[in-house]
Amino acid sequence: MFQSKIAGIGYYVPKNVYSNNDLKRFMDTSDEWIQERTGIKERRYADRLEETTTTMGIEAAKVAIERAGTTAEEIDFIIFATLSPDYYFPGCGVLLQREMGMKEVGALDIRNQCSGFVYALSVADQFIKTGMYKNILVVGSEKHSFALDYSTRGRAVSVIFGDGAGAVVLQSTTEAGKGILSTHLHADGADAEKLAMYYPGASGGKWLDNKPQWPEQELGGMLMTAEMLEDGTAFPYMDGQTVFKKAVVKFPEVIQEALLKNDLRTTDIDMLVPHQANLRISQFVQKTLGLPDEKVFNNIQRYGNTTAASVPIALCEAWEEGKIKAGDLVCLAAFGAGFTWGSALIRW
């Protein structure tokens, strides 16, 4: 059985920078309020008319493919993770395939929100290990800015998210102890509605008491109404306290699971790259694990939460800055809506 390695990595963020003070034009907020709760100072927003989730993913993919020493024509499988696709269907994977002029290879879309990239990496790892594919492009890309509630009512969610994309090319390696050592995936749908966007969807709304709640609408549950925009149900919902409490437990658990699987300890980690959900969560996890600042990489201050794109963007920046070197033990971890969470342990 082969081992898989990250042969190339790249990222892309839009040029439009929106600081916390810029958001004051739309809502009652302040730089101090946002930083205190999230650690975020600014985020990037894609050009509304010219950039999409797919186009940003393409830009990140181009860099990753070049750094891997391969070409788009040699990619033999695509995995695209996002919660903000260009279309409700088809997925972004086939759009990227078309625009990059790739062969008629398989394209798989992953819908695991903030855990999307870790899930996608795990799937790609299995394909490489079995020898089914040799060059897999894994992309995490998000365009949140087009679907957020920029009123004071929605500020608890809208100030957190930003746009961007990250990508890696996975290839096989025969070097013992190199590449992806293991991945670990989990989910628990008990609190699915605590972090969700209810529309569009076949149920047309929330599930209560294990039953979908259908709005009283003449045309059925898929109809978007003015009332949904007015009361905020058309926008993403998050119970921040519930998410925080669950994340700070599951993050350390899944990291320790990966270390135990490989007979390693926390002190063996050279770099932890957590999903950039909230700087307070990352700091809590860092303290729980007893890791020094130089072993944890955070960039949420500059980009906000880019969900499926956050791990590859942060991983790429850490590598570009020389904070990840050959032979380093790198741990990736994520927690997000679903709830879903996962980790990957990599010998760089």
Q: Are residues 224 and 133 in the same domain?
A: no
What pLDDT shows up at residue 62? 98
What is the C-alpha separation between 220 and 207, in angstroms, rounded?
16
Q: Are residues 110 and 67 in the same domain?
A: yes
Confidence of residue 196 (pLDDT cuts 50, 70, 90): confident
| CB 112, CB 136: distance < 8 Å | no
What pairing do the DSSP bridges indicate for beta strands 164-173 and 135-142?
antiparallel
Q: Are residues 11 and 59 in the same domain?
A: yes
Residue 316's domain comprises: 179-190+238-347
Instruction: Report whether the peptide linkage leading into residue 200 is cis, meaning its omega lies within 30 degrees of zero.
Output: yes
Locate 56 and state its tokens.
Answer: 């940003």
Q: Are residues 309 and 284 in the same domain?
A: yes
Closest by alpha carbon to 327, among 176, 200, 156? 176
Closest by alpha carbon to 296, among 321, 269, 316? 269
Average model confidence (pLDDT) across the chain: 92
134-161 mean pLDDT: 94
Q: Are residues 16 and 122 in the same domain?
A: yes
Catalytic residues: 114, 275, 305
What is the C-alpha separation between 278 and 17, in angstroms, rounded?
19
Q: Give me the residues paired with residue 199 across strands.
A: none
- The CATH number covering residue 119 comes to 3.40.47.10
Q: Are residues 205 and 283 in the same domain?
A: no
Length of the chain: 348
pLDDT tens sequence across 284-326: 999 999 999 999 999 999 999 999 999 999 999 999 999 999 9
What pLDDT shows up at residue 2? 81
Q: Are residues 93 and 143 in the same domain?
A: yes
Q: Which of 139, 173, 207 is the last residue of a domain?
A: 173
Q: Are residues 23 and 151 in the same domain?
A: yes
pLDDT tens sequence across 41-50: 999 999 988 9
Q: Are residues 19 and 134 in the same domain?
A: yes
* Pairwise pLDDT comparison (228 vs 335), residue with the higher score: 335
Amino acid at 56: M
Confidence of residue 220 (pLDDT cuts 50, 70, 90): very low
SS (H, E, C) 183-217: EEEEECHHHHHHEECCCCCCCCCCEECCEECCCCC
Q: Are residues 270 and 330 in the same domain?
A: yes
Residue 99, φ and ψ in degrees, nearest 5: -70, -25
**Number of structural domains in the chain:** 3
Confidence of residue 175 (pLDDT cuts 50, 70, 90): confident
Residue 181, φ and ψ in degrees, nearest 5: -80, -40
* Pairwise pLDDT comparison (199 vs 86), residue with the higher score: 86
18-31 mean pLDDT: 95
Confidence of residue 158 (pLDDT cuts 50, 70, 90): very high
Q: Are residues 167 and 295 in the same domain?
A: no
What pLDDT shows up at residue 221? 47
Confidence of residue 219 (pLDDT cuts 50, 70, 90): very low
Confidence of residue 209 (pLDDT cuts 50, 70, 90): low
* Pairwise pLDDT comparison (21 vs 230), residue with the higher score: 21
Q: Are residues 216 and 150 in the same domain?
A: no
Is the pLDDT at 152 greater than 90, yes or no? yes
pLDDT tens sequence across 222-277: 455 666 666 666 678 888 899 999 999 999 999 999 999 999 999 999 999 999 99
What pLDDT shows up at residue 203? 47
SS (H, E, C) 50-88: CCCHHHHHHHHHHHHHHHCCCCHHHCCEEEEECCCCCCC
